[in-house]
Structure 1
Amino acid sequence: MKSRRNVLTAALTGLAPAVWGSTYLVTTELLPPDRPFLATTVRALPGGMFLLALGRRLPAGVWWWRAPVLGVLNIGAFNLLLFVAAYRLPGGIAAMIMSAQPMFVVILAALFLGERIGALPALACVMGAGGVTLLVFKGTVPLDTVGVLAAVGGALCMASGITLTKRWGRPGGVGLLTFTGWQLTAGGLILLPFWLSLENLPDGLTGANVFGFAHLITLGAVLSYIVWFRGIERLPAVAVSFLALGSPVVAALLGYLFKDQTLSALQIVGMAVIFLAIVLGQIRPPRKKAGEQSGEPPSATPRTTPSHLPGQPAPEQERSG
């Protein structure tokens, strides 16, 4: 039953990267051209403020700085660096570099969450990067240093956001909608000055523009991030990180269906490899028994008797002889 519940949770969480994979198509076909920061700010800030108004609760205590940190890593800085990489690098190269994100999570989870670096996650990292390469690589091109650094930074931001969200958890008494609202608002606020200083407002909005922005705010931000943060709470950080590899697969499929882009045999193989990497990334290593963790045989583990109340110091052992 628990295994089935984990599968359902992973499938639901994977819907978030699938929705994010549609962002490229929505941006190019429905939104005003050459307005990346407008699109990203509108995607995060209105939805975040709506959830804040709905929850009627602001961060308190350490969450005055933790919530903005998570919002910057998961949303603000991540999307900013992603757009910089997308503008300075071919999309395939940017996706290839971003596919290193699960590897970063494997390392960070081992350092800060105590998750073991097993053979399966390591193999899944290699397969995920290889599958994305087969899916998006179009040939050798000169690389822009700033673009490469932005792509690496974006992958690190997402990996750090997943790890810290898992480590800090959600404050007690705060609902998931409010928790998501904190992060969306913080991420939108950090993007706001970049939009105001680097871009102008479009001359007007068409019906397609309104529909595109509505998609970004509802499915692309509010609903997808609620599902995403729910998954981080219930699944290991490493397992969640591999689900993000579904985003380039959805982007490639939508490009094939709606933009007459080709889909070669190698790309199909790449999709299959990515899917297998995602599945391997969900497999949890068996837990060690207490005796195995301490390096002693199970029989050597002393037994405890309920001779004192929980939470009180145990009485001293009687001296023999």
Structure 2
Amino acid sequence: MTEKTHSQPMLLVLAPGLFVLLWSTGFIGAKLGLPFAEPLTFLLIRFACVIGLLGLLALVLRRPWPHRPIQWFHIAVAGTLLHGGYLSGVFLAIHTGMPAGVVALVVGIQPLLTAFLSASMVGERVSGRQWAGLALGFCGVTLVVWEKLGFAGLSGAGLAFSVMALLSITLGTLYQKRFCAELDLWSGSVIQFVAAGLVLLPFALAFETMGVEWSGQFVFALGWLIVVLSLGAISLLHLLIRRGAATRVSALFYLTPPTTALMAFLIFGEKLGLTAVAGMAIAAAGVAIAVRQPSPPAPLPQAGEGRKPSGS
């Protein structure tokens, strides 16, 4: 066997856990950077840097670009949903004062919504075992965020932005699974970030001052979100969507709030009570049930097998 055949399966084995770990740091990066820039301005700077880096890599590595206009269109739509709609929804909800725990709980419905829509959009059947795992995972996420679930900052705008993020990440995952099967990770991501940036730019110009305080903390948060999230986690998400069923991929998002809570405990010293710890275990169990591949059926015996030899 070649090295490639060894490394490719290993990457697929490690990808889900690595994705959860990297994706969870996005909330930490947002918390560090948002005090120094308005949400859409922050995202546009991030997108511009990512477009430059990925575009250069795509040219140097001579990655293939879509040949037909319809392919560009589908990739752009998926990118607008996954990057523009989801990220702006989360950032704007938190910016309006929406408690992060409530935002996490709303977005936490995503695996259930994906499972509900997957049959009609991508033709995937969700088994009873998967539904049970998804329900258990949502219960675990609820316990994780329960201790920090404050409702003082609830507003119609914050709730609307949270729902926008939920719908965007759900529809974006399913849309990419159905229409972007041949997406190249490098060139395709450039198209997606350009499309998302073009959608967000008019809103930033209209509703934000676009001022930035270039502190060391902001530069660190921006660099982290560019390299770790936009280059690392997003590439892994594309790989997972391409290789796995949409329901199993979306179930991984249940592990994001527990991982983020653990990181906040280690980095910021935030409280982590027994209820949250129990929720982490329940969420992990739910994800394990939802993503477990069903056992293949036993092969039928060949003609003549299983017969006892006749006596002489």
| TM range, smaller chain | 0.7 to 0.9
**CA shift for structure 1 position 185:** 2.0
1:141 paired to 2:141: no
Answer yes or no: is the 8 Å Cα contact 2:36–2:218 preserved in 1: no
Please give the per-residue CA displacement for 1:103-140, whole angstroms capped at 9, x wherever unaligned: 11112211122211211221122112111111112456
1:20/1:197 CA distance change after superposition, 3 Å: farther
Answer yes or no: is the 8 Å Cα contact 1:132–1:248 preserved in 2: yes
Structure-1 residue corresponding to 2:265: 256
1:114 paired to 2:123: yes
Q: Of 99, 114, 128, which aligns to 1:105?
A: 114
**Residue aligned with 2:69, SS:** coil
1:27/1:275 CA distance change after superposition, 3 Å: same
Letter paired with 1:158? I
Structure-1 residue corresponding to 2:44: 41
Q: How does 1:78-97 map to 2 (within 5 A)?
A: 78-86=86-94, 87-97=96-106
1:113/1:29 CA distance change after superposition, 3 Å: closer
Answer yes or no: is the 8 Å Cα contact 2:102–2:150 preserved in 1: no
TM-score by length of 1: 0.79
1:66 paired to 2:74: yes
**CA shift for structure 1 position 7:** 8.5
Structure-2 residue corresponding to 1:167: 178
State how far apart, in whole Å, the 1-side matches of 2:130 and 2:120 are: 15
Query: Percent identity at matched positions?
Result: 26
Structure-2 residue corresponding to 1:9: 12
Answer yes or no: is the 8 Å Cα contact 1:52–1:58 preserved in 2: no
Q: Which moved more, 1:248-257 or 1:258-267?
A: 248-257
Uncovered stretches (5+) of structure 2, i.e. residues with no partner: 299-312
Q: Of 216, 226, 248, which aligns to 1:217?
A: 226
Structure-2 residue corresponding to 1:314: none
State how far apart, in whole Å, the 2-side matches of 1:14 and 1:198 are: 38
Task: Tell me which structure has the larger Cα radius of gyration.
Answer: 1
**CA shift for structure 1 position 194:** 2.6
State how far apart, in whole Å, the 2-side matches of 1:136 and 1:167 are: 32
- The structure whose residues are more often helix, as a share, is 2
Letter paired with 1:261? E
1:44/1:128 CA distance change after superposition, 3 Å: farther
**Residue aligned with 1:26, SS:** helix
**CA shift for structure 1 position 251:** 1.6
Uncovered stretches (5+) of structure 1, i.e. residues with no partner: 290-321
1:10/1:81 CA distance change after superposition, 3 Å: farther
1:203/1:187 CA distance change after superposition, 3 Å: closer
Please give the per-residue CA displacement for 1:230-260, whole angstroms capped at 9, x wherever unaligned: 1111111111101122221222112111212
Structure-1 residue corresponding to 2:279: 270
**CA shift for structure 1 position 154:** 1.4
Matched residue count: 287
Answer yes or no: is the 8 Å Cα contact 2:102–2:149 preserved in 1: no
Q: Of 49, 54, 60, which aligns to 1:51?
A: 54
TM-score by length of 2: 0.81
**CA shift for structure 1 position 191:** 2.0
State how far apart, in whole Å, the 2-side matches of 1:288 and 1:49 are: 49
State how far apart, in whole Å, the 2-side matches of 1:91 and 1:32 are: 15
